[in-house]
Chain A
Amino acid sequence: DTAVSQTPKYLVTQMGNDKSIKCEQNLGHDTMYWYKQDSKKFLKIMFSYNNKELIINETVPNRFSPKSPDKAHLNLHINSLELGDSAVYFCAISDPGWGYTFGSGTRLTVV
């Protein structure tokens, strides 16, 4: 039973499309994150939600909009996809004193 599950695992789409990535956690932690990992493996935080409230919003284009319908879910919607959005997007949850648990990632390719 996976603690953090993301769907889809792979997403290939054309420039200009709108797409969503979903994340679900079953550990009951309050805080969930979206990270972006580029082709050089650099992981950069995008957003963080604590108990459905947005607490971290890094410098991310407003084409990216996170939504947390409940504590167990954090989705990422991306409008007007661009080539530079191609990356692996990771959902993560945190446990104070223990760091993050990551999902297995969504590999987004924009063509």
Chain B
Amino acid sequence: QKEVEQDPGPLSVPEGAIVSLNCTYSNSAFQYFMWYRQYSRKGPELLMYTYSSGNKEDGRFTAQVDKSSKYISLFIRDSQPSDSATYLCAMSLSGGYQKVTFGTGTKLQVIP
């Protein structure tokens, strides 16, 4: 079993839909949680960075962390075709120079 599990998709939604992307993890010691977006043939770029449980909002993006369930989510409101990409969840034990463990990514397609 991988430390971080993520449904690979693909997930296809119509433009304007609310998208929910999820990850589960097994290591309860993870404290820092991230979401990265990766366009085709590009490097991942950081979207959201949260510490411990709770919600964080940034524009159309909301990240949720439920440490009791070992479950994190990324919600995208009013999805746009430009949101079409692979979304990778990631987590680490500390915010310092510890290694980050990634999920395998969910491919999202937003259809105009």
Residues of chain A touching chain B, judged by Cβ–Cβ distance below 8 Å, are 4, 30-31, 40-45, 48, 50, 55-56, 58, 90, 92, 94, 96-105, 107
CB-based contact A96/B43 at 8 Å:
no
Contact of B99 among A41, A48, A103 (CB under 8 A): A48
A99 in contact with B97 (CB, 8 Å): no
**Given known contacts A96-B95, A98-B49, A102-B45, A45 and B100 CB-to-CB distance under 8 angstroms:** yes
Apart from A99-B90, A101-B45, what are 10 other A-B pairs with CB-CB below 8 Å? A30-B97, A41-B88, A43-B44, A43-B102, A48-B97, A94-B97, A96-B96, A99-B100, A102-B43, A107-B41
What's the A-B contact tally at a CB cutoff of 8 Å?
A: 60
**Mask of B95-112 contacts with A, CB within 8 angstroms, 1/0:** 111011010110000000
* Least CB distance, B99 to chain A, in whole angstroms: 5
The yes or no answer to B42 lying at the interface (CB within 8 A) is: yes
Binding site for A on B (CB under 8 A): 8, 32, 34, 36, 38, 41-46, 49, 86, 88, 90, 95-97, 99-100, 102, 104-105
- Distance A7 CA – B43 CA, assembled complex (angstroms): 13
A selection of 13 A-B contacts at a CB cut-off of 8 Å is A4-B43, A41-B104, A41-B105, A44-B102, A50-B97, A96-B95, A97-B95, A99-B34, A100-B36, A100-B44, A102-B44, A102-B45, A104-B43
Residue of B nearest to A38 (CB): B104
* B46-A56 in contact (CB<8A): no
Within the complex, the shortest CB–CB distance from A109 to chain B, in Å, comes to 14
Nearest neighbor of A33 in chain B, beta-carbon distance: B99
Asked if B97 contacts A96 (CB within 8 A), the reply is yes
A50 to B99, CA, bound (A): 12
- B residues near A98, Cβ cutoff 8 Å: 46, 49
A31 and B99 CA atoms in complex are apart in Å by 11
What is the bound-complex CA distance between A104 and B44, given in angstroms?
Answer: 8
Known: A40-B104, A41-B105, A98-B49. A56 touches B43 (CB 8 A): no
The chain A residue with its CB closest to the CB of B42 is A104
Q: Which of B34, B41, B49, B102 contacts A42 (CB 8 A)?
A: B102
